[in-house]
Each structure stands twice: as structure tokens, then as C-alpha cells.
Structure 1
């Protein structure tokens, strides 16, 4: 275990977090809010500790899998701890576990909140709360990789640990260049959404905050009734489109940029993802038609909620907990499906589901034709055995953590729908669930113990389970 390089990365995390806190400081300055001083205090602390950790570069900067996964897990914990301090020290979120829950929900792009009155927060706190979505969407370590070269190609382990999906490949030969490409796409799409929302009459502050949540597929509403506050079909429609776009594998956009449109259009995962969205919107629209004044209105709200849930964004335009059971069942299923690998979305990922269905089809064929030899392929390329093994292992860990979490949260003695969907919403980084965890509710009524369980779930869900599990394994910390 190369502990010195892990400490060095922790230092850079704190340095970058201090820089990121400039944005809420600017908001506090513009709106003349005294609570912004706490960001200066935390910035000073982050900067001081960060400089101590990074003042001397380790001689050995080589990263292997163990260092990569541990660095990612610890980085997100450290990032969340310091990110929660402004909320707690300012008194705007008086309980520390609530401040941690809120900021972890932000960084992991979950969007689950413990705040019954979001609008009571100061502007700078609202801006920081929304900005955490944008920071966590692409991953803070991916950002560091774009500016801080590590040793050789070993920093690919960081990309694999922090990027969602069954496998992460390089868009270009160098990982640093890959990280830069990802962030350029991310920045452009975010800026485009801000502009389009402003053209629809949304104030700049709101446009920026909403776009941060959409880009990171996070979904912290800046109004108590989320996107329902903006009654314009245009504004809600723009957010719907961008939620879907941010849920697509960014490699598809890279293919378009490098003039390979045929490859991009033939992306098997993207087609499956869009197909699931289309089918879900159609079925829900038919099911909820009677509850809306027109077919278009039903379609509009169905499309928004489907896009919000499958991309794990979590915005809402209506209280979908009041919808028929069939529609709610589809939305719960979409919570587990999630977005594409290599996107900012959470969930199980469409690519994993596609691969597992292909494996099931192969096994059924083998039962009928034992001597047949079939090769599993995705995007026209053979699926290697270690990828399938990793997906099966991930599925086992996913089910085990989910089951244990539901049982632990059940100690609060809420109804099963509340417990089940609360865990589904946090573990899959969705945000709202159903019943007591529904879009018109919040997570403040859960006990501190349940909140810590769901904090772990949010981190484990965002980091694809294994990094969070590895830090608890004694063998991880051995020097061998």
C-alpha cells in the first residue's frame, strides 16, 4: 500500500474543494449574506491541510488498483466531511448528521434531502448545495486527473473506481487527456442548458442551480415543490431533455465529436436506454391520462418523471406518489435500471442489464443445445469473462447491501414501502422514493442511525460498491 501517494491525493482533494467553495462565497457577496463567512473559514482549513499534504510530492507516484480504490473511497468521505461544515457551522442545518446527509446526497448526486423548507436556506448555501451535484457528477478525482498527471497509466484505476459502469475505457491513449475531454463535454452541456433556461425566462441564479442538478443528475430542488414551481412547459421540457442527455454514455458524444456518427448511433446501450425511456413514457401516459386535463399534459409529466427517475436525477413536477400503482411500479423498476455506464447517472446501469439478459439468453440456449458455442457481445465486441464475472459479483454485493440496508432502516418501524423505496432512492442515487420518502416528503424523520446507513448507501451506490467495501477489508491496508 502506497500510503504517501494516497495522502498526497487527499491533499489535492482538499485544495480543489477550497477552490470550489469560491462559488458560494461569490453568491454570499452578491446577496450580502453573512453566512458566507463560514465558507471562508472552511476554505482556510481545507487549504492549510491540503498544502501540508501536498507540499512534498512522494518519490513513488505509482498507482495500483488498491491505491486507486482506497483513494477514491477516502476522498469522497473527506470531501463530504469538509463540505458539510459550512451547513453545520452556520447553523442553517443544526444537526451534524443532517449536514453530512445533505452534502453526501449532493456529492453523490442523490438529491435526497432532510430539509423540510429548502427556501429558508441562504442563497450561498443553496448554491453550494446545488454545486455539489455538479462536482460529484463527473467526479472530483476525474477533475484532478485532468490537471494533475500521476504515474504512467496507473491512474486509470482512479477512473475505474470513480466512473459509473461495468468497465471504463480510454477515449484517447492518455488518461489525463480523457479526463479533459470528459470535462469539456460536461462544461459545454451545462452552459448550454443554463442559456436555454434563461431564454425561457428563468433567473440566472435558478438556471445555474437547476443546471448543476441536471448535469450531475442530482436533483436538489431550490424550491420546496422542486420543478413544479416553474409551471412553464418549456422550462420543464428543457430539463427533461437534458436529464436524458446527461444519462447517455459520454463516449457517444465523443464519437460524434470525432466524426464517427455511425458508431455513436449504433451504440447498443444508448439504444436500449432510449427504448426503455420511450416504452415507460408510453405506458405511464396511458395509465395516468385520466388524471390530467389533456393527453399532452399527461405525456409531459410522464416524460419528465421517467427521465428524472431513470437518470437518477430526482426532480419532480408532480407528486407521483399519487399516481396509479402501475405507474409507480414502473418508476420503482426504473430506480434500479439507472442510466448508461460512463454517464453522470446512477443505478444498476443499462449496460449491466443488457449483458445479464444476453448471458441469460445464452444459458437458456445452452440448455437446449449443450454443444453450441456462443460468444457474448456488446457494441459488436466480445464480452470478456472477467467483465461478466465482475457484473455477477457486483450483483451479489448489490443485493446483499440493499437487503441489509432495508432491514436496518426498518428498525425505525416505518411502513415497508417507505423503507424499501428510501433505500432504493439512496443506494441508486435517485433522491425521492414513495410514501414517507416520496417527492412531497423528506428524510428528516428517519433516525440518525438510519441516516448513516443511507449515507453509506449513497456513497456505495455512487462509487459502484467495491471501493467502499475495500476500505473495510483488513487485507487492503497491508503493505504487501
Structure 2
């Protein structure tokens, strides 16, 4: 249905690609970090304009703002949707929605490579042994990411098919899970996962977007297998196993651990799926897990576990140093020989401050739009963490279609802010607000 709209989108994409390529500056001058950030920021606003074309010219009479909202939600891997009934959408548009997430997840991973200079030394080590990228190395790592990302998607698709999930649903779910997105090919996940085995397998597959995308590659192809090289992933493994035990022992109220396991994995990976009968009694705990997030080099959002852990350990050590001044407290990760520096702690602290400020601002704006404060607060967290609203967080019945147009613009802007590393926002503010 509406095949011409996809042809037009393809032609427009090719034309714009040629325009940007032919107009590029061949000057060898080094690109500044501000130019890199603004380029990525521009991409998050511009590329969804192309993605929105099939939505706008579909048979569903979508306005421009609704089409753009759906496109941004997909490209940022958030999953908010203006469609009330997914089952009534033609399959080509469902695939388009899922693929917009897949492309957005890949764009996010590329942006990490481009902005590698502003990130911390410990995170660089989890990506590669190279500390500084030249142009050739950037292309090499980008190609590696594309290959790994594609293979992971294909692997998830095959596994879902093996466990007898319909091929069309498997394809959509594979793109959604890899990108940490929230779009489903059906109204409810319960229509896709019909037994406990499928629920458990899908839950385990969601961990792909929780751990580093380089984890499997490093395990198989990297000769150096010391713990320092897998520092973040080992921390994440212990973190996840601890959560698993706590949830099984203390929160397994209904003795249906498969559903609880799904809610746990979907929260830590910032996907946000839920089944029909998922309880919202633990919504606050799941929101905390959403805010923490997963690996730095993954498609999940969140403040990142290693940052929270570093801040916590540093704070405890500082308190103990005053109470026991004769003792020496080491600020070092458990499975690493490297110490985290004070400037890294400052960055982490600023990230948390910016996140809190963003929640307060967006909650205030949503409350002015007539949304209840509790829902505004929850929706603010999910927006900034690029996680879909669902019954896990008590927002399954929330309708984005009926929101005023200016509220949709708020959400669009903050979905993009959430996808960017929050530290980049501070760097841009420093550039334009604190000029010498």
C-alpha cells in the first residue's frame, strides 16, 4: 500500500545525499568538538523529516506534527506512538516504523565514535586499544559497528524464528531489540509471545542492547582477554545477576517469574515492553532501573551503571576518609587496574545534575499541558531515557495522539536531548553562553 511514497522517499534521500556529498568542505582543518556535536544534533532533527514522509502521505490522514513525532520517536528508539491500533496499519508501514528504530540505533552508535574525544579513558578502553582516532581508524571502527549491529540483528531474527515466533513479528522484534526501541508490530506483546519459553528467550535477547555491542566480538576475536578489557561488561553482569536474585526472592508476588524477568530485562535495556498482565506495583523500581541504563557502547540510554557506581564509590570513600583519616581508600573499579580520575567524577556528577534539571523542566511543561503530575514525572523519565510507555510503568493507556501540538514539540525536543550524551548539552551551553 502507498508504494509510491517509499519510492519518493528513496529518491529524495539520494538527492539529499548527493547534495551533502558535493557540498562538503575538503579543507583538512581538524573538526572541532562543537562542530561534531552540532552535526549529530542536526541529524536527529533532519533525518526524521525524511522518515516522516511515508507517515505523512499514508492513508491514515496524519498531520505533519504527528508524522514527525512518530519519526523522531522511532529514530531516537523511544517508541512513543500516535497510532491507537497497530493491527490496522498496513505491514509496509509497520516495517518502516521498525526500520526507523534500527537506523536510529546505528546512528547513535556512530555518534559515539564521532564524539569519542569527550568521553572518558575507561570507556575508550572498552571500545578499542586506540585512544585517538584518525580518519581511517574512525571509518574502520564505524564499519565494525555496522557489521556487528547487522549480525546481531540477523542472529536475533533467527533465534526468534527457531522458537516459532511468526517471521514478520520476528523481523520487527529483531530490529526493535537491537536498537533498544519500543515499536511493536502488534497492539500488545502478549499477541506475539504466547508461551513462557518465548517470553524467557525474548527477555534474554533484550540483554543484547544492555551489554556492549563489542562484547561478543571481543570474546571471540580479541587475543587480550584480561579482565581490564571487559571491565564494564563484568560490572554489568554482576549488577544484573544481583537484580535477578533480588527480584526472584523479594518481588515474585504472583509466582510468575517469566513475566517479572521480562519487565526486568526490558527496563535495564531501556526497551520498555510489557505483557497485558504486567503489574505496575513495581513501576517506581523499574523507573529507577530505566534511569541507570546499561553499557556505554550499547543502544540503551540511561545515565549508565558504571557512572553511578563510580560516583557512589567515590562518595563513600570521601566520607570514610574524613572519619578514618589515617586510612587510604582507593578509587578504582573492582575488575580494572585503572583509577578513575577526579575530572571523570566531575563529568559524571554534571551528567546527573543535567538529567535532574531536564526531568524537572519537562515535568513542569507537561503539567502545564494538563497532564497529571505523576504521569508527567513518569513520562519525563521515559522520554529522556528513550523508553516506551507501557503497563510496567503505569502508562499503557496514555494517548499521544490527543496531546496539544506544542506538547508534542516538547517531547520531540527532549527525546533528542535524551539520545545525545547529556554531557554534550553542557559543552554546547559552555560554547555559546560562556564565551571569553
Q: TM-score, normalised by structure 2?
A: 0.87
- Hey, what does 1:119 align to over in structure 2? 87
Shift of 1:274: 3.1
- In 2, the alpha carbon distance for the partners of 1:308 and 1:355 equals 24
- Hey, what does 1:82 align to over in structure 2? 50
Shift of 1:375: 4.3
Q: How many corresponding residue pairs?
A: 426
Counterpart check, 1:176 vs 2:139: yes
- Hey, what does 2:339 align to over in structure 1? 382
The DSSP-based 3-state class of the residue aligned with 1:382 is coil
Q: Residues 254 and 229 (structure 1 numbering): CA distance in 2 closer, same or farther, change over 3 Å?
A: closer
The DSSP-based 3-state class of the residue aligned with 1:250 is coil
CA contact (8 A) 1:220 1:314 kept: no
Please, which of 58, 64, 70 is the counterpart of residue 102 of structure 1?
Answer: 70
Counterpart check, 1:430 vs 2:387: yes
CA contact (8 A) 1:70 1:467 kept: no
| 1:412-469, Cα deviation, whole Å (9 max, x unpaired) | 2332221111111111111115699623544333332222212122111111124456
Instruction: Return 5+ residue gaps in structure 1 as ranges.
Output: 1-32, 144-154
- Hey, what does 1:344 align to over in structure 2? 299
Shift of 1:284: 3.9
CA contact (8 A) 1:166 1:390 kept: no
Counterpart check, 1:255 vs 2:218: yes
- In 2, the alpha carbon distance for the partners of 1:136 and 1:101 equals 14
- Hey, what does 1:456 align to over in structure 2? 413
Counterpart check, 1:315 vs 2:273: yes
- Hey, what does 1:40 align to over in structure 2? 7
- In 2, the alpha carbon distance for the partners of 1:43 and 1:126 equals 17
Q: Which moved more, 1:426-435 or 1:311-320?
A: 426-435
| 1:243-289, Cα deviation, whole Å (9 max, x unpaired) | 11221023433321234585359844334433343343444445664
CA contact (8 A) 2:378 2:393 kept: no
- In 2, the alpha carbon distance for the partners of 1:414 and 1:302 equals 29
Q: Residues 258 and 304 (structure 1 numbering): CA distance in 2 closer, same or farther, change over 3 Å?
A: same
Q: Please give the residue correspondences for 1:273-288 in structure 2 after superposition, counting only pairs within 5 Å.
A: 273-286=236-249
- Hey, what does 2:310 align to over in structure 1? 355
The DSSP-based 3-state class of the residue aligned with 1:381 is coil
- Hey, what does 2:259 align to over in structure 1? 301
- Hey, what does 1:233 align to over in structure 2? 196
Query: How big is the alpha-carbon RMSD for the aligned residues of Structure 1 and Structure 2?
Result: 3.0
- In 2, the alpha carbon distance for the partners of 1:55 and 1:382 equals 46
Instruction: Return 5+ residue gaps in structure 2 as ranges.
Output: 131-136
CA contact (8 A) 1:337 1:347 kept: yes
Q: TM-score, normalised by structure 1?
A: 0.80
Please, which of 16, 23, 44 is the counterpart of residue 49 of structure 1?
Answer: 16
| 1:87-126, Cα deviation, whole Å (9 max, x unpaired) | 0122436122222222211111111222211122221111
- In 1, the alpha carbon distance for the partners of 2:63 and 2:429 equals 26
Please, which of 207, 212, 219 is the counterpart of residue 175 of structure 2?
Answer: 212
- In 2, the alpha carbon distance for the partners of 1:265 and 1:473 equals 34
Shift of 1:319: 4.2
CA contact (8 A) 2:280 2:391 kept: no
Q: Residues 228 and 120 (structure 1 numbering): CA distance in 2 closer, same or farther, change over 3 Å?
A: closer
Q: Residues 160 and 309 (structure 1 numbering): CA distance in 2 closer, same or farther, change over 3 Å?
A: farther
- In 2, the alpha carbon distance for the partners of 1:168 and 1:355 equals 16
CA contact (8 A) 1:110 1:426 kept: yes
Please, which of 191, 207, 210 is the counterpart of residue 154 of structure 2?
Answer: 191
Q: Which moved more, 1:279-288 or 1:101-110?
A: 279-288
Q: Residues 101 and 436 (structure 1 numbering): CA distance in 2 closer, same or farther, change over 3 Å?
A: farther
